[in-house]
């Protein structure tokens, strides 16, 4: 099994607006090709995306409660990291110890697959290929999940996966994350964990894993760079035992003022 070692990310790379990785760019497509392929599905007459609803608006303005407490937005933490870096594992612990709702983009998409709809079939097809689902679909699922929770603290796990995800989220919800947690893990460790995950996932096979790693490097790292430049990223070394990593997580979350 040959998996390319994680590259060192230099400044010039971070500034490169083009997807990285070289070779075929097929695996790098965030959304364009799929939008074309499923144009009919996405463009089917439907009500346009609503502006943030009153329920969501209640959560969205400044979480400090700028209008007397009636419009508090939840504290939003995006949780990012490569596939197998331990996002889901650590989110479950954060949720239980710090009272966060845990919204996993991957789980929301997999639930949609279980619904057996045409949209579900499309999502399954994309996930099998390690590509990124069109942002309209994912953001809409997240928006609904945010609306249906009363939690004042929300972890959004595995999102945004690309710049387009990020921009769509900010446009549709009218808000930004308060914090971005980045679990930094070497590729060989991520591959080992994914191959041992044993959850029967269609994308936990070596072929798809290689594609997911390339997509992460090319499309997700720029999102992390973007939020780093805005001072929102907290990087956590994701090697070691779950408990050791949670030690670093706890340090961060215990220092936050929600
Ligand atoms: N620190 C760790 N050391 C070894 N295995 C881990 C660790 N953290 C998580 N795992 C395991 O690795 C796999 C991937 O973890 P998961 O939390 O699902 O990652 P992600 O959500 O980032 O893909 C799971 O089987 C999980 O039990
Ligand atoms: N924002 C997102 C999140 C996941 N996904 C898809 O769902 C797959 C699984 O996501 P996940 O977050 O459950 O995967 P892990 O990183 O947790 O292993 C990804 O490889 C993508 O195909 C997506 O398209 N857009
Ligand atoms: Mg996960």
Give me the CATH number covering residue 212.
Answer: 3.40.50.300
Phi-psi region of 45 (alpha: psi -120 to 50; beta: other; left: phi over 0): beta
Per-chain mean pLDDT for the chain: 82
Q: Identify which has the larger pLDDT, 18 or 145.
A: 145
Q: What is the pLDDT of residue 36?
A: 53
In a domain, 161, yes or no: yes
Higher pLDDT, 54 or 172: 172
Q: Whose CA is nearest to atom 10 of ligand 1?
A: 86
Confirm whether 6 is domain-assigned: no
Q: Are 80 and 90 in contact (CB under 8 A)?
A: no
81-112 burial, b for 16+ CB within 10 Å, e for fewer? bbbbbbbbebbbbbbeebebbbbbbbebbbeb
- 54 pLDDT tier (thresholds 50, 70, 90): very low
CA-closest candidate to residue 191, choices 203, 206, 176: 206
66 carries a ligand binding annotation: no
Distance, CA of 96 to CA of 118 (rounded, Å): 35
Whether residue 168 lies inside any domain: the answer is yes
Residue 106 annotated in ligand binding: no
In a domain, 45, yes or no: no
The answer to whether 235 and 184 are in contact (CB under 8 A) is: yes
CA-closest candidate to residue 164, choices 30, 50, 48: 30
Q: Whose CA is nearest to atom 25 of ligand 1?
A: 197
Q: Identify which of 27, 28, 158, 202 to mutate to test ligand 2's pocket (most ligand atoms within 8 A of the CB).
A: 158
Tokens of 236: 């956590």
**Which element (helix H / strand E) includes 135?**
helix 135-147
CA of 138 to the centre of ligand 2 (A): 10
Pocket of ligand 2 (CB under 6 A): 83-84, 87-88, 105-106, 109, 126-127, 130-133, 138, 158-159, 161, 165, 203, 212
Atom from ligand 1 closest to the CA of residue 89: 17
pLDDT of residue 52: 45
Question: Are 153 and 74 spatial neighbours (Cβ–Cβ below 8 Å)?
Answer: yes
pLDDT given at position 65 = 39
Q: Which atom of ligand 1 is nearest to 239's Cα?
A: 1
How many structural domains does the chain have? Answer: 1
Query: Distance from the CA of 85 to the center of ligand 3, in angstroms?
Result: 8
CB within 8 Å of 148: residues ≥ 6 apart: none
The SS3 of residue 30 is coil
d(CA 51, CA 54): 9
pLDDT the model gives residue 223? 98
Question: How far away, in angstroms, is 80 Cα from ligand 3 center?
Answer: 9
Average pLDDT over every residue of 111-140: 97
Domain annotation covers residue 86: yes
Q: Is residue 129 pLDDT above 90, yes or no? A: yes
Task: Concatenate the DSSP letters of all residues of 162-195 into one string.
Answer: SHHHHHHHHHHH----SEEEEEE--HHHHHHHHH
- 4-52 per-position pLDDT tens digit: 334 434 333 333 333 443 344 444 455 555 555 444 444 443 444 444 4
Q: Which domain holds residue 185?
A: 51-254
Is 44 domain-assigned?
no
Percent of the chain with pLDDT over 90: 71
Q: Is the minimum distance from the CB of 94 to ligand 1 under 6 angstroms?
A: no
Does the pLDDT value for residue 224 go beyond 90? yes
Ligand 2 pocket test, candidate residues 109, 202, 238, most atoms within 8 A of CB? 109
Is 11 part of a structural domain of the chain?
Answer: no
Is pLDDT of 61 > 50?
no
Which tokens belong to 37? Answer: 């392929």
Q: What distance in angstroms lies between residue 12's CA and the mean position of ligand 3's atoms?
A: 30
Q: What is the pLDDT of residues 68-123, one digit of tens each?
A: 444 579 999 999 999 999 999 999 999 999 999 999 999 999 999 999 999 999 99
pLDDT for residue 18? 36
Euclidean distance between CA atoms 208 and 231, whole angstroms: 33
| Residue 148 placed within a domain | yes
Question: Average of pLDDT values for 158-187?
Answer: 98
Q: Of the ligands numbered here, which is closest to the C-alpha atom of 198?
A: 1
* pLDDT computed for residue 35 by the predictor: 54
């Amino acid at each position: 099994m040959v998996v390319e070692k994680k590259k060192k990310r230099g400044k010039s790379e971070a500034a490169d607006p083009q997807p990285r990785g070289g070779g075929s760019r097929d695996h790098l497509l965030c959304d364009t090709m799929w939008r074309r392929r499923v144009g009919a599905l996405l463009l089917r007459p439907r009500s346009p995306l609503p502006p943030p609803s009153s329920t969501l608006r209640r959560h969205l303005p400044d979480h400090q409660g700028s209008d007397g407490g009636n419009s508090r937005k939840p504290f939003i933490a995006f949780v990012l990291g490569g596939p197998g870096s331990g996002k889901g594992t650590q989110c479950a612990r954060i949720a239980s110890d710090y009272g966060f709702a845990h919204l996993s983009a991957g789980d929301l998409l997999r639930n949609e697959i279980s619904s057996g709809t045409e949209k579900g079939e499309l999502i399954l097809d994309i996930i099998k290929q390690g590509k990124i689902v069109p942002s309209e679909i994912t953001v809409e699922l997240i928006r609904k999940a945010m609306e249906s929770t009363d939690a004042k603290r929300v972890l959004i796990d595995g999102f945004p996966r690309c710049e387009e995800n990020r921009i769509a989220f900010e446009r549709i919800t009218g808000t930004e994350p308060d914090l971005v947690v980045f679990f930094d893990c070497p590729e060989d460790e991520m591959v080992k964990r994914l191959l041992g995950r044993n959850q029967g996932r269609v994308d936990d096979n070596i072929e798809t894993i290689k594609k997911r790693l390339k997509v992460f490097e090319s499309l997700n790292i720029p999102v992390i760079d973007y939020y780093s430049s805005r001072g929102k990223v907290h990087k956590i070394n994701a090697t070691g035992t779950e408990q050791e990593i949670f030690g670093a997580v706890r340090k961060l979350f215990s220092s936050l003022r929600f």
